[in-house]
Amino acid sequence: MSVRAVTGWGIVTAAFLTFAVSAGLMHSYPVFFVAFLAEFGWGRAQASLAYSGSQLLTGASSPVVGMLVDRVGPRRLVLMGGILLALGLALSARVSALWHLIVLYGVVMTVGANCLGLVGWSRGTSSPSGGSCWPSCSRPTASGGRPRCRSCSS
């Protein structure tokens, strides 16, 4: 196996783990939903604001994150996303009002997770469909398809 192929698989593994952690943190909100209701006495609609805002911001910030990948670079964006996600998660332990939860989960953690998730699979870093570091005949293998070139198929 060539060094380039090993590097490609390492990048795919790192991107997968990064995306899995950020998605796991962001989509665990329903686990804590009942605890929010009991602890703070909020109604269901109020407690759902942070998650709803998060989903809206994810869609709205995706094009911006895509432009930032091209301008700032994926390494810096992954670092920024990881810092934002960790900061938002750490400060979430201090939530005492609804607006704290909306700002921390709905904005800070969402932007961080969006940077991690979108950059991890962006073109030029590890995308099996277009990653510049990935051998062309291994791209379909990484995405679950079959190799298309004769030199890679056996």
The answer as to whether 150 is a domain residue is no
The pTM assigned to this predicted structure is: 0.74
What's the number of CA atoms in the CB half-sphere (13 Å) around residue 36?
28
Instruction: Read off the pLDDT of residues 108-134 as tens digits, 9 standing for 90 and up.
Output: 999 999 988 776 555 544 444 444 555
pLDDT at 153: 47
The average pLDDT across 73-90 equals: 91
In a domain, 41, yes or no: yes
Q: How far is CA 105 from CA 22, 81, 85, 100, 102, in A?
A: 12, 13, 9, 8, 6
**94 within some domain:** yes
**Residue 153 placed within a domain:** no
Model pLDDT, residue 125: 46
Over 80: is that where the pLDDT of 151 sits?
no
pLDDT digits (tens, 9 = 90+) for 39-58: 999 999 999 999 999 999 99
| Alpha-carbon gap, residue 87 to 44, rounded angstroms | 26
Q: Report if residue 72 sits inside a domain.
A: yes
**Residue 51: domain span:** 3-137
pLDDT in the model for residue 154: 45
The reply to whether 122 falls in a domain is: yes
